[in-house]
Structure 1
Amino acid sequence: MFWKRDNKIQVEILNPINISSPSSSPQQGDTKSPPIVREVDKDFAIKLLTYFAIVLQAGLLAYGYLELSAYYEQFGIGTTELELGTPTILVYGYSYAFSSIMGLVYLIPFIGALIPGLMFISVALTFVYLLMSRVSKKGEILEKGTWGGMLLLLVFIAPVLGVHHGVERARENIKADSGIDVSNGISRVHSIITDKGEITGQLVVADTKSSFLLVKDTLYKVDNKTNRVMRKTVLKAKDKKDPARKAD
């Protein structure tokens, strides 16, 4: 027979068969990574606020102390003779800073009214730029800095409202109790009974230890416990030096 069991037939496939199965995973090109959201560093913001508060407090303390020292020195009073605590110096520092800043409104014509606002806007812009320069655009920084500066200005002015309210209350009570016309303000004259007799004048400053009373051109330092006159200082105008003699 022509067919035998041991004969082998070789079959060759000319066109390969591709078997494909649907993939459940999405194509790699369609996957998108989520956008990176940049946020403000809260720890850095807290540190920046802390540094700002420390610098502000130190500035008010230095300004208040130097202002008081220069003022009392004109009367012959040293700051070592007074009990000046930190709250007192801070209050005077704020008061003098407020008067100086608001004084620019009348000192510089036309643009004087804008200077206080520009000062606080500059401070707020610096703070916002350091905090948000990496996460916000320049326009947003400018907008937030401007609003922040106006808010700082309002916070700076707010304590003055309390002072004004206290003055008005005191004047109303004085007018009701004594009948004094307080529309033009109130002048005060102090009298202290001392070992030298009664002294009447303007009170420059007083603390728990001493009182300093100005009577015409003489300043009296009176001990509060014993009412003794501890020192008497006569204030005089300095003589104008001759320029020719000074040159020699």
Structure 2
Amino acid sequence: MRDYRITKYNPINRNEHGHFLIDEWTEPEQIGKAFNGVKATKSDFFVIEEKYVLSILEVLKSLSINHLRVVDLDNSYTKWSLSRSDNAWLREDEFLEVEVYEDKSVGLSEIETIIRMNLRHFLSCRLEINNKFSLRFGFDFYMYVLCNELSAEVQDKVHTIGLFVEEIEPMYLMDKCDFYIDVVKKGDEFVDDEILLKKMTRNKIKIGLGLSAEHPGNHSFKITPENSVIFIDEFQFDFDNYEYYLNCDKIYW
């Protein structure tokens, strides 16, 4: 599969190491600040965000994809972030109404909403179909698409919308990952130990959690007494004194 970076950043402004040389806003929290002597406005943000949404809709249309799965969801901070007064300008009614959970199948309208929520830092997730497509969001308003190929035609459409498509070395391989258990003593914030699971597979995760065939089975999650049976042949748990998290090492730089 091939990895594409789709962003507002013109590649002609990168140096030989790929570093972007122009000072631009990279997150909604920077709106209102000046860059190269020009103040970034809320309107600037919404115009660019719309380009990101339209570009992904064009990509999905070109690949005949009309739904995706929510993967590696973190919405633990969503309610808090939506309630902050300084985020009021970023809040939409549908953000309060949409139901998002791991492995949910989302159609195009919900995909649009979830893209906006990712870009506005109201939640974090990937949108994927196992071994077929992945949409990921990085730091600094970077967006990545993993698929078999983006045609020249759809790349031209994205460019017409106003974004830039760059094929990059694959950073993320759906079928390549190592699973670790992070051990945290109750009351602590830091990981005490990290245990490699030599027998764990994506398929075991999917079966154990009852995930769909379209879910890649390579996400991270908290291990509970209820789902710990997946790991019983590799690890003994002490839930009275420790908390446990499955860490899926899946990003390749």
With normalisation by structure 2, the TM-score equals 0.25
Structure having the larger proportion of residues in strand: 2
Report 1 or 2 for greater relative contact order, CA contacts < 8 Å, sequence distance ≥ 6. Answer: 2
